[in-house]
Chains A and B, each alone.
Chain A
Amino acid sequence: MQAAWRVDEIEDNSVPETDAHVLLMSDIAGNQDREAFKALFLHFGPRIKSLMLKSGARPEQAEDIVQIVMMTVWRKVHLYAPDRGSVSAWIFTIARNARIDRLRRGSSQAYTDIDDLEIVSDEPDGEDRMFASQRTQKVAKALSELPEDQRQIIQLAFMEDISQSEIAAKLALPLGTVKSRMRLAYAKLKNKLEDLK
């Protein structure tokens, strides 16, 4: 848990790392700033690779997906809206879509259709940029405070990319128990995030 909060790649220690990510994004969007992009890459690249390895990618495949995800970040950086979510959540969705397209031989088109809809039509949530770091901290806190049985299921679902029936089989639990733990974990997160408004 602590590693995520260490400011190790960014020079300016006065800025919390997650705010720093939003600033990096605006430097990349505004000036195609390579140094900013490199800082973002050094933070997220190794995490995306780790996520893909846990999802069953071979090392060279995981490395290639990191490149594809970060290429998408570079090209779509101007579409990132801080009022809709944190940088890490945004990059997670790009990694998730790449995992569907590359590892699962599926199609992430439905997700990108929703993204496009949001960009054009959605009203902002009123959770503006000054909340970006707060939001990330709340999520980290919510995750760390989850009871072990709930955290395990959330991690399996997001990290290893397996369905709730597969989770149930893996943990030798009834499907209903897996679902109710997912609901409980999600309810806790929602409570934490709604506090921000």
Chain B
Amino acid sequence: MSLDHHLDDATLLQYACGNLDEAFTVVVATHVAMCDTCRHAVRQAEELGGGVLEDVGTAELEVGSFEHLMLRIADQPAEIAPAATVPHVSGDVPAPLVRHLGPDLDAVRWRSIAPGVRKHVIKQNSASKSSLYMLHIAPGMAVPEHGHGGSELTLILSGSYTDVFGTFRRGDIADLDEHVEHQPIVDGDLPCICLVATEAPTRFKGFFSRLLQPLTGI
């Protein structure tokens, strides 16, 4: 898939290091599953990991470590990994998200949080300070102009929106840090469905919006 909006290189490196928390990892992986460019870029960042591993120094292993390993392998045979087990993707939900959402966007159970805005919170396995959720925003809706309390990743799964950075369509990702302020407006006739990870609660800029925030919980 050819996309217009990709990950920030710093985010991509953090992902390759394995340092992102669960919410951010899921959003990055879902974008990477949809984006050939970023998949290639992640592999290059992982080469850096290989270089660091070569360079990390050595720590002496326990005596008989290899023999012990071969005994463990012999004890647990059967598990030669299958060639590949791609999660079944029947609908429009990319593989890394299927485990959290199921295979079908139409089957998501939305909760209305404001006129034209619906939300679905994704349960995380680990204790994480970041939140992971989906938004379903009606056509023509404008999300109040807002800055961010921390980093935020927004991945478009369906429909599109436009803000000062351009138009974001399926597969595009908005990788924003705390200094950015933007006001996305949903384009066309279809709702925009996106997957979002936020590091801290988003702070709306306007007074009215700030009043709304406790209600919307975005």
Contacts and interface: CB of A to CB of B under 8 A. Distances in A.
Interface string B9-20: 110111011111
A189 B73 CA distance: 37
B25 interface: yes
Contacts of A92: 46, 49-50, 52-53
B80 interface: yes
Chain A: interface secondary structure? helix
Interface stretch (B82-90, B101-109, B155-163): B82-90
B95 A116 contact: yes
Nearest to B85: A116
A58 interface: no
Given A106-B22, A111-B29, A140 B55 contact: yes
A155 to B, nearest CB: 6
A86 B43 CA distance: 10
A162 to B, nearest CB: 7
B69 A136 contact: no
Interface string A40-80: 01101111111101100000001100110011001110110
B48 A96 contact: no
A176 to B, nearest CB: 8
A34 B70 CA distance: 9
A155 B52 contact: yes
Contact of B96 (A110, A121, A123): A110
Given A92-B46, A114-B33, A136 B25 contact: no
Contact of A136 (B10, B36, B54, B61): B54
Sorting the interface of chain A by its residue count into under 10, 10 to 19, 20 to 34 or 35 or more gives 35 or more
29 contacts: A3-B57, A45-B65, A49-B60, A63-B65, A78-B83, A79-B84, A89-B43, A89-B49, A91-B53, A95-B53, A96-B16, A97-B18, A110-B30, A110-B96, A113-B96, A113-B99, A114-B96, A116-B84, A123-B36, A136-B47, A142-B48, A157-B13, A159-B52, A161-B17, A163-B14, A176-B177, A186-B44, A186-B45, A193-B44
Interface of A: 1, 3-4, 34, 38, 41-42, 44-51, 53-54, 62-63, 66-67, 70-71, 74-76, 78-79, 84-93, 95-97, 99-100, 104-111, 113-114, 116-123, 125, 135-136, 139-140, 142-143, 154-155, 157-159, 161-164, 175-176, 178-180, 182-183, 185-187, 189-190, 193
